[in-house]
Amino acid sequence: MSAHEQRLQKILAQAGFGSRRVCEQLILQGRVRVNGQVVTQLGVKADPHADLIEVDGKRVQLPQRHTYILLHKPAGVVTTRRDAHAARTVMDCVQGVQANLFPVGRLDADTTGVLLLTDDGELAYRLTHPRYGVPKTYLAEVRGEVGEDALRRLREGVLLEDGITAPAQVERVRYLADRRTTLLRLTLHEGRKRQVKRMCQAVGHPVVRLHRERFGPLTLRRLPVGLWRYLTPEEVVLLRRSVGLPP
C-alpha cells in the first residue's frame, strides 16, 4: 500500500467535487473509476498521485498546496538554505515548518526586513526574474547629508561594475544623527547583488543600515523582527497575480 493512499471519497472532496457525503453518492452511482475500473464500494482507497482517478470520464487532480511564509529577517542571519560554515541561516528562523522551503531572492547578512520563503518554484522563479521587475522597497541609512544631485543620480541610474542601474524611486525621508546620516527610501525594480549598498556607495554615501520594508505587495504588517507568519490567502493571490500567475 502506498503512503499516499486515502479513501476515494476524501480524495474527491479535496479535488472539489463536494462534501464527502456527496462524493460517496458519486461512488455509489458508479460514476467513479480508478485505473479504468468502476468503483461502487465505499471503503476503497487510492493514491491520488499514482492512480488514475476519473469522475464521469474526467481525470481528477488534487490542487497543489504550497506554503508561503514571510520572515522578518533579523541581522546576523545568512540567506541560504544551508551554510557549510555553520552560520545561522534564515532556515533556522522557520524551523518546524513542514515544507521544502527556500528563500526567494537574497538579503545580505546584515540586512533586516521582508523575506519570502516558499516551496512554490514557479512563483519564486518569476519573482526573481528581471523580466517581471518586481518592486522592492528599502529604507537605507547612509553616511552624510544626501543632496539633490545624489538623489537625482540614484533615481536616473548609477554606473556600477555590472552596468547602469535602472530608474528607481528614491526619496529622502529625513536627516538623522545631527545630519551625520540620511534616511533614504529606495524602490528598485531589479535585484542585483548588494545593489542598494553599491548604488549608495557609488554616489558617495555608504550604507550604515539597510532594511527591506516591501517585496512586491508584501509588507511586514507589524511582524516583530526574527518572527515569521504565513501569508494570508489575499496576499498569496496578490503575489501570484503580480507575476501573471492564476490564484
Size of the site for ligand URA (CB under 6 A): 8
Torsion of CA 76, 80, 85, 87, to 10 degrees: 20
Cβ neighbour number for residue 100 with a 10 Å cutoff:
10
Residue 168 or 210: which CB sits closer to ligand URA? Answer: 210
Cα 136 to Cα 56: distance, rounded to the nearest angstrom: 47
- Looking at the Cβ atoms of 46 and 127, the one nearer to ligand URA is 127
Question: Per CB under 6 A, which region of 28-36, 86-94, 103-111, 119-127 contacts ligand URA?
Answer: 103-111
Those residues whose C-beta lies under 8 Å from the C-beta of residue 190, and which sit 6 or more positions away, are: 130, 133, 165, 166
Stretch that binds ligand URA, among 26-34, 153-161, 172-180, 189-197 (CB under 6 A): 189-197
In angstroms, give the least distance from the CB of 193 to ligand URA. 8
Of the pair 18, 191, the CB lying nearest ligand URA is at 191
Residue 107 touching ligand URA (CB under 6 A)? yes
Question: For 153, left (φ over 0), alpha (ψ -120 to 50), or beta?
Answer: alpha
Cell match 528562523: residue? 93
**231 touches ligand URA by CB under 6 A:** no
Among 12, 34, 46, 111, binds ligand URA (CB under 6 A): 111
The rounded distance, in Å, linking the Cα atoms of 107 and 218 is 15
Nearer to ligand URA, 66 or 106 (CB): 106
> Catalytic pick from 47, 83, 108, 110?
108
Q: How far is it between the farthest Cα atoms of the chain?
A: 79
Cell of 195: 545593489
Q: For ligand URA, which is the closer residue by CB, 197 or 205? A: 197
The neighbour count for residue 67, using CB atoms within 10 Å, is 16
Q: How far is the CB of 197 from ligand URA (least distance, A)?
A: 3
Packing angle of the helix pair 233-242, 121-128 (nearest 10 deg): 50
Helix (H/G/I), strand (E/B), else coil: 68 = strand
Binding mask 190-219 for ligand URA (x = CB under 6 A): ----xxxx------------x---------
Residue with cell 555553520: 86
C-alpha cell at 185: 527610501
In one letter, which amino acid is 117?
A: L
Q: Which of 47, 108, 190, 213 binds ligand URA (CB under 6 A)?
A: 108
Is residue 108 flagged as an active site residue? yes
Q: Binding mask 143-182 vs ligand URA (x if CB under 6 A, - otherwise)?
A: ----------------------------------------
- Which residues are designated catalytic? 108
* Binding region for ligand URA (CB under 6 A): 107-108, 111, 194-197, 210
